[in-house]
Structure 1
Amino acid sequence: MAGGTNRGQSTLDYAVGVSIFLVTVAGVVTFVPGMLDPFDSTQEDVGRADRLAESLAADLLVADPTEPYRLDGDCAREFFDAEGDGAGGLDCRFGTDASDLGAALHAEGSGVRVTVEGPDGVVDADFDGDGTDDGSLAAGPTPPSSGNVAVAQRAVSYDGETYRLLVSVW
């Protein structure tokens, strides 16, 4: 073709290329911050929550250390009973109950909440043995709605049912 200009790109090709580029940039800007959110909490809080959840589910609240994640019902109720007297004469593996959660878990200086939850929320328990639920398996203040809260969970067996033990640290 003599005398003509040979352009390898038309206006339509250019518009399609720029549109694909802008959609890609918008996707990266939209989704990358959300992918980084799990790493926004300090690693120290994430590690502490995981350590506390493992300690409770595999050691402190079990009757037999060879059967981790199977909570001893009496000891678990005694641990979460804020009006109880520690181990209450039971052969439990903790020295201090959840009325002083920081001391019980050696997590002084941190905000900590521990709950045992099922499909309907926090599990209710009969603390005084009269056959009626008079408390729940929850201890510690409610985590803040803003700020970094690290949460660790373990599947546990409590009174023959499967629940989730959640530990929140902030």
Structure 2
Amino acid sequence: MTGTRSRRRVRRSTADGGRPAGRRRPTGGDRSAADRPRTVRRSADRRGQTTLDFAVGAGVFLLAVAFVFAFVPAMLDPFTAAGGSALIVADGTASHLAEDALAETPRRPNVLDESATKAFFDADECELDGDPIDEALADGDRIDVTLVPLDEGDEESCGSGGPADDVAVAQRLVTLDGDQYRLTVRVW
């Protein structure tokens, strides 16, 4: 072997178990602290979560659950309201009256023609083109149409009146002879 040193591994004797000199296994009795396996210790002074942390976390969770139970049904209520078809009929009828049937021209929706409006409200059953508006509604719905001035004046109404509850209502703001009115359609 010229110019190179040979490296030899020194094998330790089996008497010490092949361990480094500072880590010998004791021959009897308890192990020393250095020889014990390292485990996670739980003590009150070294925990990461205190009772107060747990209480705050549980409180926030309960508030979130209460929020969900309180507000989600209210958010879904418009989509599950009873009488959904009556609401659609009321809204469609109000739009048809304000924008087409009683309007001066299609270019000026919500501006009512005086003669068409007078003829509509003078009839006993809210007639459009000679037919009562109740007959045009599906499922035998009943209707009440009211024209109320926003300032002062007389209220115009036609239809069959109606119950105080379980009524679908749609409203439009309209102009008649330069005055503002509220056109209200009730369907039940």
TM tier, smaller: 0.5 to 0.7
Runs of 4+, deviation exceeding 4 Å: none
Q: Which runs of 5+ in 1 are unaligned?
A: 87-93, 125-135
Matched residue of 1:67: which SS?
coil
Residues 141-168 of structure 1 deviation map (CA, whole Å, 9 limit, x = unaligned): 4443443x33322221112122222222
Give the 3 Å change call, closer, same or farther, for CA 4–23 of structure 1 in structure 2. Answer: closer
CA distance in 2, matches of 1:143, 1:23: 43
TM-score by length of 2: 0.62
Structure 1's 14 and 140: CA in aligned 2 closer, same or farther, altered over 3 A?
Answer: farther
Q: How does 1:1-170 map to 2 (within 5 A)?
A: 4-5=42-43, 6-39=46-79, 40-82=81-123, 94-96=128-130, 100-103=132-135, 106-107=136-137, 109-119=140-150, 124=154, 136-147=155-166, 149-170=167-188
Q: Distance in 2 between matches of 1:82 and 1:11?
A: 76
For structure 2, the residue ranges without an aligned partner over 5 or more in a row are: 1-39
CA separation of 1:57 and 1:3: change in aligned 2, threshold 3 A: closer
Amino acid at match of 2:57: G
Corresponding residue SS for 2:186? strand
Deviations 1:44-95 (A, max 9, x none): 22322222111101221123333221111232123112459x6xxxxxxx31
Q: Write out per-residue CA displacement over residues 1-40 of structure 1, whole angstroms, 9 at most, x where no aligned residue.
A: x855243221111111111122222222222222223221
- With over 3 angstroms needed to count, the CA separation of the structure-2 counterparts of 1:67 and 1:150, relative to structure 1, is same
Question: If the length of structure 1 is used for normalisation, what is the TM-score?
Answer: 0.67
Percent identity, please: 42
Determine which structure has greater relative contact order: mean sequence separation of CA pairs < 8 Å that are 6+ residues apart, divided by chain length.
1
Distance in structure 1 (CA, Å) of the matches to 2:149 and 2:51: 60
Structure 2 counterpart of 1:18, which letter?
A
1:38/1:117 CA distance change after superposition, 3 Å = farther
Distance in 2, matches of 1:9 and 1:118, equals: 66
* 8 Å contact kept, 2:87–2:169: yes
Counterpart-to-counterpart distance in 1, 2:88 and 2:146: 18
Note the aligned Cα RMSD (angstroms).
3.0
